[in-house]
Amino acid sequence: MNVVDPQAPRLSPLAALEAQVRQDLERVAYPAPLWVPPRTAGGAPVLDVAIVGGGQGGLGAAFGLMRERIVNIRIFDRGEPGLEGPWVTFARMLTLRTPKHVTGPDGGIPSLTPQSWFEARYGAEAWETLDKISRHDWQDYLRWFRAVLSLPVQNHSEVVDIEPATDDTGDRILRLSVLGPDGPQTHYTRKVVLATGIAGSGRWQIPASISQALPEDRYAHTAAEIDFERLRGARIAVLGAGASAFDNAATALEGGAGSVTLCLRRRVIPSVNPYRWMEQAGFLGHHAELPDRLRWEFMRHIFDLNQPPPQDTFWRCRRHTNFSFRTGAPFLDIRMQGNEVIATLPEGELAFDFLIVGTGFEVDFAQRPETARFAGQIALWRDRYTPEPGSEHALLGTYPYLGDAFQFVERDAGAAPELADIHNFTFGATPSMGLSGASISGMKYGVARLVSGIARDLYRTDAERHLVSLRAYETPELTSLDPPVC
């Protein structure tokens, strides 16, 4: 019988949860042995996997790899510790858009789920009454997740180049050029995972008609730092109909903007959210296995629907009397006239002081330093699939055509074999793989597929070494032919 010492200090709920995490991981630690043979390049150690990006996708991928006993890994993130990802930097929603019950990077460990963390911090009743998790709480959860698992994140470190190299045995590896906290660094790795989020396959998009016509202090993308205090009392126009456009409109209104006018080219604000349909095991788990025609048709329809603002986000704007929106109102022209910005709409002109651009992002690997070197060799969907007449979609064709574990595919066979060791775990993977690392909804399935593919590749490449290891294995299990002495 166990006797509890009444004088023993009681753990806080969060400390108790952390103890439970450690116990849970010990119980599912099979198989425990490390199995990936170490490599060197010029005498320097070679990572098994380098992960670019320390947000939710990078953390989830790292945890998944470590559970498969691939532990010689490192995460590189250019941001401040605890500020990785968008949640407390440029995201301006009040809560996540996903339902609270959607699991994230927890890998199926109940004690690591957002619900377990939230209940330990705020109590079970708070979870029951919660609608959606706030973005600040989500960031705090990710900080805790990183800390409790001791994930190897190197902050203030930007990967600026990836190039092919060979290790000391002559096998193919990758060389990373990193701008680290103390200056330039070189790292070698066998695999790279790009976990750089929504714009990780290109850049945030601002139409040239805007950037060429306006001074830089008169416009900003929704993903940029914006000093809303400076815009107090200003007339603001927001271009775009997506959720982030409405988030920024609401933030400006709450910051004291004189007026906010949201302009969208569509005749009707989108109302159907395809993400809610996608949150089912069939699509999440198996979209990547469909033939090209079906993957194209699924994504063409999803892209055309677009993601609407959540209802609460829309009302967050509408509660302000100085908010208005105009449908069927693309910018036909924009110019400075005196101290005013003038946009020409189909119905006339709109004068304002500042423009917030919510036009999303473009897929262009040449615009990212880590992929610029080999951008022209990455196969895109337009390189691999010709849609049937009537099913063309120019935007969809710009996305990368990926292999079964998120790896890039060569556009020209044999020209860049190193692409098979670079795995694109960004939003750009969506047409090929479905929802993945850049979406909380897809992490449960995306991480598993990514990790399984990386483990497979590492084992196959090292198969001869493992065979040598097997032949040299001589640890006896039968150690005695005599019965034990009682």
Same domain, residue pair 82 and 181 = yes
Q: Read off the pLDDT band of 307 (50, 70, 90).
A: confident
Chain position carrying tokens 């939003």: 427
The predicted model gives 374-392 an average pLDDT of 97
- Whether residues 353 and 428 fall in one domain: no
Q: How confident is the model at residue 306 (pLDDT cuts 50, 70, 90)?
A: confident
Last residue of a domain, one of 334, 359, 384: 359
Tens digit of each residue's pLDDT (9 = 90 or more) over 442-455: 999 999 999 999 99
**Residue 292: inside a domain:** no
Give the rounded percent of residues in the chain with a pLDDT score beyond 70.
98
Query: Average pLDDT over the chain, rounded to whole?
Result: 95
- Does residue 252 surpass a pLDDT of 60? yes
Assigned domain for 243 exists: yes
Provide the pLDDT confidence category of residue 1 given band limits of 50, 70 and 90. Answer: very low
Please state the rounded mean pLDDT for residues 213-225.
97
Q: For residue 232, give the CATH number of its domain.
A: 3.50.50.60
Whether the predicted pLDDT of 392 surpasses 60? yes
Name which of 124-138, 235-249, 268-282 the model is least confident about.
268-282
Task: Give residue-wise pLDDT tens across range 114-150.
Answer: 999 999 999 999 999 999 999 999 999 999 999 999 9
Number of structural domains found in the chain: 2
Residue 194 pLDDT more than 60?
Answer: yes
Is 480 contained in some domain?
no
Domain containing residue 312: 206-271+308-359
Do 449 and 411 lie in a common domain?
yes
Please state, in angstroms and rounded to a whole number, the distance separating the CA atoms of residues 448 and 452: 6
Least confident among 71-75, 319-323, 350-354, 473-477: 473-477
- Indicate whether 349 and 416 sit together in one domain: no
Q: Are residues 113 and 247 in the same domain?
A: no
Query: Are residues 262 and 192 located together in one domain of the fold?
Result: no
- Does pLDDT of 364 surpass 60? yes
Within a domain: 286: no
* Same domain as 196, residue 216: no
Kindly tell me if the per-residue pLDDT of 281 is higher than 80.
yes
- Residue 285 covered by a domain: no
Share of residues in the chain with pLDDT > 90 (%): 90
pLDDT of 305 > 90? The answer is no
Shared-domain flag, residues 102 and 54 = yes
For residue 403, what pLDDT band results from cuts at 50, 70 and 90? very high
Structural domain includes residue 471? no
Question: Do the domain assignments include residue 483?
Answer: no
Same structural domain, 111 and 55: yes
78 and 184 in a common domain: yes
Q: Is residue 82 located within the same domain as residue 176? A: yes
**pLDDT confidence bin for 10, thresholds 50/70/90:** confident
**Contact in structure between 25 and 162 (CB atoms under 8 Å):** no
Instruction: Give residue 6's pLDDT.
Output: 59
Q: Say if residue 174 is in the same domain as residue 223.
A: no
Residue-wise pLDDT for 102-114, tens only, equals 888 999 999 999 9
